[in-house]
Amino acid sequence: MPKPTQFNHPRLLDSLVAGTDEVGRGPLAGDVVAAAVILDPEKPIRGLADSKTLSEKKREYQFEEIRDHALAFAIGRASVAEIDRLNILQASLLAMHRAVSGLAIQPVFVFVDGNFCPKWNYESQAVVKGDSLVPSIAAASVLAKVTRDREMGELDSVYPGYGFAKHKGYPTVYHLQALNSLGPSAIHRRSFAPVAKLLNRDSD
């Protein structure tokens, strides 16, 4: 992986460079959501960082700031059905592919958070811990996390009792207890072990 200083290559600075990241690989329920962002060098956004390290208030503030000042941004996703069919890694790559494809301004280079790039025609580079190294990836992580968190909050009223608004679908003790008591909902990932175990138990 290149050192962070190498991200300032003049060829890339003169081009339209996007960053993409996904949120929601670990939860037992809900879509995996990705975002892609092309930042405007004339409108820098201070304090960009991995969305997981920011307070909810800071993420919400940056969410609006990114939407107001970025040259382009887009959200992509892979559904629960796609996660179960493809596996979570491939679904995450699909969500990022959809996010980048959805940008109103198409980039000539894409930085991708993680170890792998989607199969696409964009010139790109995977960057481990990119959300702490590349500002456009950090911006994408904020958009993706706020978008997904809000959606899980809305789904809490559709599927009451699981506590989605609180844990966002992650396998907390409360969530596992609710899952065991209520059984899987329509938005639970049936390929994930705790859910699959319950389904197998109920089929016996």
Q: What is the CATH number of the domain that holds 74?
A: 3.30.420.10
Range of the domain at 100: 4-153
Residue 99 CA: distances (Å) to CA of 21, 36, 106? 9, 5, 11
Q: Is 5 a residue whose pLDDT tops 50?
A: no
143-186 confidence digits (pLDDT tens)? 999 999 999 999 999 999 999 999 999 999 999 999 999 999 99
Which alpha helices (DSSP H) does the chain contain, by range?
Answer: 10-13, 56-69, 80-86, 88-101, 135-158, 164-167, 173-182, 193-203
Instruction: Give the pair of three-digit tokens for residue 160.
Output: 């009451």
Query: How many domains, in total, are found in the chain?
Result: 1
Indicate whether 172 belongs to any domain: no
Of the candidates 16, 132, 115, the residue with the CA atom closest to the CA atom of residue 73: 16
Indicate whether 139 belongs to any domain: yes
Secondary structure class of 31 (helix, strand, coil):
coil
**Do residues 35 and 20 lie in contact, with contact meaning Cβ atoms separated by under 8 Å?**
yes
Q: Is 58 a residue whose pLDDT tops 80?
A: yes
Q: What was the pLDDT predicted at 49?
A: 79
The residue with greater pLDDT, 3 or 171, is 171
Q: Is 1 a residue whose pLDDT tops 80?
A: no
Indicate whether 51 belongs to any domain: yes
HSE-CB at 204 with a 13 A cutoff on CA atoms is 6
The residue with greater pLDDT, 73 or 2, is 73
State percent of the chain over pLDDT 90: 82
Indicate whether 159 belongs to any domain: no
Q: What was the pLDDT predicted at 202?
A: 62
HSE-CB at 39 with a 13 A cutoff on CA atoms is 24
Of the candidates 49, 21, 45, 52, the residue with the CA atom closest to the CA atom of residue 35: 21
* Length in residues, the chain: 204
Instruction: Report, as an integer, the average pLDDT of 84-92.
Output: 98
Indicate whether 101 belongs to any domain: yes
Indicate whether 136 belongs to any domain: yes
Indicate whether 201 belongs to any domain: no
Indicate whether 196 belongs to any domain: no
Q: How confident is the model at residue 51 (pLDDT cuts 50, 70, 90)?
A: confident
